[in-house]
Amino acid sequence: MNRLTGKVALVTGAARGIGAAIARAFVAEGARVLLTDIDNARGAQTAQALGERAAYRRLDVREPSDWDAAMAALLNDWQRLDVLVNNAGITGFEGGAAAHDPEHATLEDWRAVHRTNLDGVFLGCRAAIRAMRAQGSGSIINLSSRSGQVGVAGAAAYASSKAAVRNHSKTVALYCAEQGLAIRCNSIHPGAILTPMWDALLGDGPEREARMRDFVWDTPLRRFGRPEEVAAVAVLLASDEAAYMTGSELTVDGGLLAGSPASPRG
């Protein structure tokens, strides 16, 4: 398992869920990984479990000064950055917040989602390009969402932010190519991946299993995806196998965007 041997990666939102799965897969493939998050206890625990090729640092993706400090520390310790995964994100429903429909969403809530999901990606891409310019190569992987490719009536802020991530990834890819840099930028669009983000929707009571069955019935593969299945795609994009891929978007949604399964409910 050496597809990423010699590479140095930084993963945001890596304390749990998809970010933790990506960090785990990168380490397994030989990379050194700096896990970052704002959940210090869980982030440090996750990094410690991954062994000597992993480390943890607090990074609030909304703060330019945090990005500056994280990049300076990484370059000082490991001398280079080969892969950035902009994974950190929020739905806006954390803590039981109301749905963000286009009529009733507050500007404050709208801006809070965009500040993490979009501003954080912009700041990460900017920092990565500057860090990678020295060697002239690298891979930036932005986590968008299936919701960035379709409208979501009750999650206007989230869908808008993820659509912007999708587009900004293409802009970054074109800019780096224009600059003569072999810095690739691609986006991954997960859908129906069972992570802690779903807890607010599924709950933890006796009806959780029923809600899960109701949801996955409408997916062609009839199940939720696993974080490890998204991580496998991230490994590909981080590796030299994807050297001719930039400005691309890869969907990992069990066929949701392909349409509805033909067989009737029964």
Model confidence pLDDT, tens digit, residues 9-45: 999 999 999 999 999 999 999 999 999 999 999 999 9
Return the percentage of the chain with pLDDT > 90, whole number: 80
Q: Which pair of tokens denotes residue 111?
A: 């801006």
The question of whether 244 is a catalytic residue gets the answer no
> Residue 45 burial (CB < 10 Å; 0-12/13-18/19+)?
middle
pLDDT digits (tens, 9 = 90+) for 115-173: 999 999 999 999 999 999 999 999 999 999 999 999 999 999 999 999 999 999 999 99
Q: Tokens 């992570």 — which residue?
A: 195
Concatenated DSSP letters for 58-120?
A: E--TT-HHHHHHHHHHHHHHHS---EEEE-----S-TTTPPPB-TTT--HHHHHHHHIIIIIH
- Phi, psi values for residue 146, rounded to 5°: -55, -35
pTM for this predicted structure: 0.93
Which H or E run includes 16?
A: none
Query: Where residue 93 falls among pLDDT bands split at 50, 70, 90?
Result: confident
Task: State how far the Cα of 89 lies from the Cα of 19, in Å rounded to an integer.
Answer: 10
pLDDT band at 264, cuts 50/70/90?
low
Which residue among the candidates 56, 158, 175, 244 is catalytic per the annotation? Answer: 158
> Does the pLDDT of residue 111 top 60, yes or no?
yes
